[in-house]
Amino acid sequence: MTSAVAIITASAARAMIIALGMAAENAQRKHLGQSMSYTEDDFLLVIDREGISHNAVMNYLNNSF
């Protein structure tokens, strides 16, 4: 179980780093008067790509015993 939590935590940290970069890019473009690079759907895709949606995490934890 401990390794499963570590893997999930690492995936969440990776997703946060990616999302913060995306948010920074959007802020930069807003400051320049340009359209946003990333939409809500793009941010939601990060969660899916990193495998940290609620169902994915629950399945991973349930299968790690």
Cα dihedral sign, 16-19-21-24? negative
Give the pLDDT score at 60. Answer: 93
Token readout for 32 is 């320049």
pTM across the whole model: 0.87
Please name the residue that has the structure tokens 């340009």.
34
In percent, the amount of the chain with pLDDT more than 70 equals: 97
Residue 1 confidence class, pLDDT cut points 50, 70, 90: low
Q: What is the mean pLDDT of the chain?
A: 95
Helix (H, G, I), strand (E, B) or coil at 20: helix
